[in-house]
Structure 1
Amino acid sequence: MTSVSEAHRGARRVELGHTPPLRLAFGTAHSGLRHSASGASRSSAVAPMEESRAPVGSPREPEGRSRPRNKYSVLLPTYNERENLPLIVWLLVKSFSESGFNYEIIIIDDGSPDGTRDVAEQLEKIYGSDKILLRPREKKLGLGTAYIHGMKHATGNYIIIMDADLSHHPKFIPEFIRKQREGNFDIVSGTRYKGNGGVYGWDLKRKIISRGANFITQILLRPGASDLTGSFRLYKKEVLQKLIERCVSRGYVFQMEMIVRARQLNYTVGEVPISFVDRVYGESKLGGNEIVSFLKGLLTLFATT
């Protein structure tokens, strides 16, 4: 059985330099992982990525009883993320604790054979079941259905979706929240292709595939957003529910269809530049089958929207 301490040692390797050649320092979970969620805010600061500084002037949840307090439910679909999960959870807890926002983290594991579920169970005990909710499924059933499953258990009025493999740093979440509040946006999407956003750790092939897919999509679908294939977003809960009801795609096309359907329904979309970093541990799940499925899905959306 995989223990959190084993995964914790993996997190330690991140700090010691076993990272992709982008000189990224996520920080370490050496103290926060063994403490409660409330103690996470007293942990040492997470070192920011060199290529992108953490947002300045991040908003805090306003005090007072004049209105219900917002709650943010983070959905983390996982499959073979045993080594990454403890660190991403620690970073999330730290970010929310420091910013003062009310939150919960819902882990939807799709029957990972590497022991991800065992690690998630330990994290639930460490931080408390009010903050970490494990809602597993028996097998891999797809990203869209993972979100549906997670939303059934979400108590927040806002939903945040992100990857569990450390590609998305939680330090950007306060900026998402600030952007949403400024424009009362229905959706706030992280973008790699606008402002100081970027991609780090990918080889040339991955960059060409991503840029090419985004370029073709912009021409065919005119979505009104700069990054359609990204999966780091904040939604109003009721908006996400309606979009999922309308979407028919599976796999990586699902994220793209969400933005296209949002445009059809006249939902507003704000964007925040982010740094996307290739996964620290494990293997990418993007393969030839996913690329073929993406092209088929793109043509289907072009014909039906």
Structure 2
Amino acid sequence: MIPSATPRKLSIVIPAYNEGATIHLILDQVKAVTLLGGMEKEVIVVNDCSRDNTEEAIKRYIAANPELLIQYRKHEVNQGKGAALHTGIREATGDYIVIQDADLEYDPEEYNVLLRPVLRGVADVVYGSRFMGGKPHRILFFWHSIGNHWLTMLSNAFSNLNLTDMETCYKLFRRDIVQGLTLEEKRFGFEPEVTLKIARIPNIRIYEVGISYYGRTYAEGKKIGWRDGFRAIYCILKYGLLQ
């Protein structure tokens, strides 16, 4: 049952770094999605100073698809995924904001899965979990899986949440809430920072839903590494203990 006061627009923030080979494919998937309640889509692509043809691919796509509302922003210096998200979140004008990686690991068809708790009027923030079961999940790296579970458990210990996938890309926020945060982390530390800061907001309603995951190998372009795992631990301690 969708309330009559349905949000009007979803802002989709896409950070991109060296994704010239796939950015048009993910934009095609975003374009194809019909959102629940007739919501509009606003796409904000932030090119974090890519060294490949990402900029040319994005501009070519915008010219060929004027019916899809796309804002394009470019960093003149590479700053990291978190910094690209800061830019996209700041520029968003939708009622809600969802994060979408520029690769093909997450399926935009599942925006509606994330939106359902929102449209039912029970959620302010929705996380998409790769580990809740019932959805396709590419089998890849054992130690990455262990690392994700351990980081989520550590984050939960400081946030007092019971998430199953803190590191997920798919996070949907009410725009005024996430724009009201002071976010500092410029790389993959964005995930624990935003989670811990969201968890502190009084009476915040956080939901988690199962999503599919079509993971990439490093040969296919995966970028996160072990150093990012150590940074995530640092961020959990920093924002969990000191702020």
TM-score (ref. length: structure 1)? 0.71
Q: Structure 1: which 5+ runs fail to align?
A: 1-58
Describe the superposition over 1:80-115 as per-residue Cα deviations: whole angstroms up to 9, x where unpaired: 111111111101110137974311211100111111
What is the CA distance between 1:143 and its match in structure 2? Answer: 2.9
The answer to whether 1:265 aligns with 2:201 is yes
The answer to whether 1:289 aligns with 2:227 is yes
Q: How many equivalent pairs are there?
A: 241
Question: Which residue of the partner structure matches residue 111 of structure 1?
Answer: 49
What is the CA distance between 1:276 and its match in structure 2? Answer: 1.7
Report matched runs for 1:119-158 at 5 Å: 119-128=57-66, 131-158=69-96
Q: Structure 2: which 5+ runs fail to align?
A: none
CA–CA distance in 2 between the matches of 1:252 and 1:73? 21
What is the CA distance between 1:69 and its match in structure 2? Answer: 5.9
CA–CA distance in 2 between the matches of 1:181 and 1:98? 8
CA–CA distance in 1 between the matches of 2:35 and 2:197? 34
- 8 Å CA contact 1:229–1:253 kept in 2: the answer is no
- The match for 1:248 among 184, 205, 210 is 184
Closer, same or farther: CA 151–221 of 1 in aligned 2, 3 Å: closer
CA–CA distance in 2 between the matches of 1:258 and 1:161? 12
What is the CA distance between 1:222 and its match in structure 2? Answer: 2.5
CA–CA distance in 2 between the matches of 1:68 and 1:296? 39
Question: Which residue of the partner structure matches residue 168 of structure 1?
Answer: 106
| Structure of higher RCO (CA pairs closer than 8 Å, 6+ residues apart) | 2
CA–CA distance in 2 between the matches of 1:204 and 1:233? 23
TM-score (ref. length: structure 2)? 0.87
Closer, same or farther: CA 261–293 of 1 in aligned 2, 3 Å: same
Amino acid at match of 1:179: P
- 8 Å CA contact 1:96–1:103 kept in 2: the answer is no
- 8 Å CA contact 2:48–2:81 kept in 1: the answer is no
- The match for 1:302 among 202, 227, 240 is 240
The answer to whether 1:71 aligns with 2:42 is no
Describe the superposition over 1:96-151 as per-residue Cα deviations: whole angstroms up to 9, x where unpaired: 37974311211100111111111000111111176122111112213333223223
What is the CA distance between 1:200 and its match in structure 2? Answer: 1.6
Closer, same or farther: CA 251–214 of 1 in aligned 2, 3 Å: same
- What is the CA RMSD across the aligned residues, in angstroms? 2.6
What is the CA distance between 1:189 and its match in structure 2? Answer: 1.0
CA–CA distance in 1 between the matches of 2:35 and 2:99? 18
- 8 Å CA contact 1:81–1:282 kept in 2: the answer is no
